[in-house]
Amino acid sequence: MRVVRLCVVLLGVVAVVTGCAPGVERTVHDVYLYGTLDQRITYFYGGEGALSYQGADVELSDARTTDERRGGDLSVAGSLLVDGQQFLRAPATPLAEPPATVSRIPQTTDMQLALASTVDEVVYFDGASYLVLAQAGEAGVVQRVVPRPRFNRLRGIGMLTNAEADALADFLEQGGPFVLSDLPVESLPVRAIDGLAEQLTTGVYVQTEIGTAQEAFRPAPQQLAWETIASGTQATGVQGATYQLITSQDQLIGVWSQMHASQLQQPPLPQVDFQRETLVAIFLGRRSTGGYGVTVRRVSVEGNDLYLDTEFREPAAGAITTQVLTSPWTLVRVLRGGFEVAWVRDVADGSLRGAARAVY
């Protein structure tokens, strides 16, 4: 009998201690879905029981994965049921304008990205795989981007758990290709909910209608026939880098003299048909030692523009060079006429060094 009484007393003590214990820790995650739904999806995690939420009590409960209440779009197995529902759903005020707009560029796999506000990451689902368009971007950016593979679908977006990210991906993929922009947390609405251990917020903008950026289309570069007429290292009267598009015999005579002024006898002037050919002179400018040089490696036309991909050489650190003044140059003939400008591009990194423009 004493043993029974002792057990009853112990059970009572446990009940009192349990009843006085602090409430279980709970986490709430607000997920804002702009563009497609303009809704806020709220997931609850932690212990079961009542929670005061927006002026009323909601009942949080758990259920097995096989429970029929777990079915449906955007359902996350690890979250709590809210009054028997998978989550809470509420309207979200639509954004004033899309933070990011993506368009396809015709006859290419590249995309045109235009940002109206700051975003963290822009992801493209093409109907079969996920691709990264941008890791982050500032408002006002308009650029051509090359999609790169993204693994694990939408995992890593915002503060989404893996289960939430997979549920969101499952839901969005039903509609076919889409672009998803991860929004900075500071740009999202602030909501205060009492009695929580943690309150998370994620916001995304989803674009499902992907248009075509016809204005961004550029035909593939067309290689042109060309040759280097002459080159050297002792041009005169040129201090810095200079690029000249030669359109007449008089201009050619003047440039040819600059290139060969240090020689006692100039080589014969090249014969040029200015109606069908284009001459471009590239002067590197005055240098204090040898070891510098300039060489055209490729000539192409992109759209209506002429591009000369050019190698610019300089001596390596510690290299032994001739200690004399030099001024490297090269003269290139392109077997097509009618160009008003020739862009000189660094073959090493694709950057534009300058332009040679026609002067009449």
**How many folded domains does the chain comprise?**
1
How many whole angstroms separate alpha carbon 7 and alpha carbon 20? 20
Residue 311, in any domain of the structure? yes
pLDDT (average), residues 285-291: 92
> Residue 50 — φ and ψ, nearest 5°?
-85, 145
Coil, strand or helix at 271: coil
Instruction: Please count the residues of the chain.
Output: 360
How many whole angstroms separate alpha carbon 173 and alpha carbon 156? 17
| pLDDT tens track for 214-233 | 666 666 678 899 999 999 99
Residue 22 has pLDDT above 70, yes or no: no
- Provide the CB-side half-sphere exposure for 320 (13 A, CA): 0
Residue 310, in any domain of the structure? yes
Residue 47, in any domain of the structure? no
pLDDT (average), residues 232-259: 94
Residue 152, in any domain of the structure? no
> Residue 42 — φ and ψ, nearest 5°?
-115, 120
Residue 115, in any domain of the structure? no
Coil, strand or helix at 275: coil
Residue 31, in any domain of the structure? no
pLDDT (average), residues 88-97: 95
DSSP H or E segment with residue 16: helix 2-20
Residue 327 has pLDDT above 50, yes or no: yes
Q: What integer best gives the mean pLDDT of the chain?
A: 89
Residue 120, in any domain of the structure? no
Residue 252, in any domain of the structure? yes
| pTM attached to this predicted model | 0.58
DSSP H or E segment with residue 352: strand 352-357
Rounded alpha-carbon distances, angstroms, from residue 300 to 297, 303, 305: 10, 10, 8
pLDDT (average), residues 69-75: 87
Q: Which is higher by pLDDT, 9 or 198?
A: 198
Identify the bridge partners of residue 114 per DSSP, sorted by sequence position: 101, 142
Residue 174 has pLDDT above 70, yes or no: yes
Q: Which domain holds residue 261?
A: 222-357
